[in-house]
Structure 1
């Protein structure tokens, strides 16, 4: 299944733990590269995600309903922790992240691995791919929002390798047909091949949806229109942290790829 994704998630978590130990008092309130979130808010987000899975609390009947959009749900959870001290934020993350990793380890084999789970606003996936979701979330926030060159912090870590990038890209490609629904589906009218090189390299083709269905994402080269980029850059522009034109090249009829590339926004 996706034991490789679980290993990547564990490695990312270890690096986040090293970053937490390294951050000085003045580092916690620096703005991250995620608009509106400070460094401490980014750790609060990661802790909140772990808690929501391994130690969910009953809904407060007096609390306003969570917004339907997944990104806004994250904002709400972070906002609820803005009054917390750094120690409280880090304590939640340190307590529940190991529990989350242990829970994900139990979803890598047998019937539990193949059982499907629906994540509000994100789509439906086999449970073993939740390890990919964590690998993506930790990699993306650590490497793109916290650490330089885009983030405010500078910690000497090895360059991302295939073992780190590939599970994150796998999650992005699994979510691509589902996360935006018709907004993205209608932009693909001919096969578009994504050629991603470097660590995490892969080639897939995005196929137009059949009537009432979702886009297809299949391995290999299946289209005359090609979008070429590094896989690490795809993590940035595929999540709209950068514009795709900064990193990707279109070969073939650009007018067929541009609406798709302009709309894509994986979370």
Structure 2
């Protein structure tokens, strides 16, 4: 199935500091493409993969689960780690959960993580019936385009396959149990007005990680897809400064070249 225009993966070969970006559930690299471009222009090596089952049609997603999505970002992390002296992992929504699991599993191989409106739980009464309803109903309404900025559009599915929703619920439970293993510096940015992921998810993550270098930033002007919203530039600037503080090699070995 062809990838939707704009939803393609992105890769930039820059300097010796690398960044892996993880997009969200039912979304695509398009939601993080401006962030990836910002980092690439500043000379970083950037990888923004397309998760399996995403960026085409929802029927394709129905055939995948969290193990497939995690395997993709895990593979990309290993590629970056072989070519870069330091690697950071960033994520939006479920991509934030993917970033946190990578941090829990890979330890010192990751120098820091930055997450935007990270998801920790599937909320609502319907979440508890997913094990049964996924066999009776194929899809539910999608969650894309929670953006305050007029004219901004997110490429994503307008339907959510319930098999995939059940899988992501199990994934969040797995990640939650692993949060104490996260020790890396953490930058967490979240929107008080988020109609997809409540603030309770960020609070839960902050309360369970073992990181001692933690920065929390509120994105007052944005909704869930803050990387395409009014606070996007702030996210880009804060995350680049986060890297600069932790990676002294930024700016070396060609990492000042744009892309």
In which range does the TM-score fall when normalised by the shorter chain?
under 0.3
**Could you state the TM-score of these two structures normalised by the residue count of structure 2?**
0.27
Larger Rg: 1
Higher helix share: 1
**Could you state the TM-score of these two structures normalised by the residue count of structure 1?**
0.26
